Structure 1
Amino acid sequence: MNRSAFSPAQIPLGLVIWSLWFVAVYGAQGLGCELAPPSPQAGATTWLNAALGLFTALTLALLLLLAWRFWRLAAATAAQRFVARLSAGVHLVAALATAFIGLPLLSLPPCL
């Protein structure tokens, strides 16, 4: 596999990370609710929401870091600037999708 930052394989990486996060979060939520459901009286302040929120924050930080990295690479080099900027944009869109889908973890009980 080509490890160059300007490889076209970098373009879908943000959406791949987002899709893996999406499957992991909803799979973990389902397993957590099946194996050790938190008390419904706790509302959104449960161990399950805290774990999923931490995983979401780490994924969001990774996607934003990658978006920033590719944007800086595009500004630093004239060669293959298109691939780097497109990669940065895709990572940013994936970060926004992660934040948008992850925000309900802060306000909704996990096992309704």
Structure 2
Amino acid sequence: MNVLIHLFVGLHIIGIAALLGGFLTQMKAMRSGEVRMVPAMLHGALTMLATGIVLVGLSQAQHEQINTIKIGIKLALLVVILGLVYVKRDEERVEKAALATVGALTATNIFIAVLWT
């Protein structure tokens, strides 16, 4: 079971990398106003959602204590991120504030995962 959990943690990290990487690739475009939500951001957010749900399920299957407040906050942030990316994905140009919000919420989500024990 531990191998399966580690596999999904790895996939979760890949999702985070895709979302954050998509944001970082658009940082230079913020100066010129050509900002857009790249497909990697949507795929990364969806990967994070799916693997996060599986990880919570696997943890519950092992009767581990789950911090539901932490998971709830992380899920809420991810739903906002996913909503922004999904709604703005087909627009040729996106407001800088929308992209900055996605980046800030992604970084917040990462810090919650790492620092909240």
For Structure 1 versus Structure 2, the TM-score category normalised by the shorter chain is 0.3 to 0.5
Higher helix share: 2
Alignment TM-score, normalising by the size of structure 2: 0.46
Alignment TM-score, normalising by the size of structure 1: 0.47
Larger Rg: 1
**Larger RCO (alpha carbons 8 Å, 6+ apart):** 1
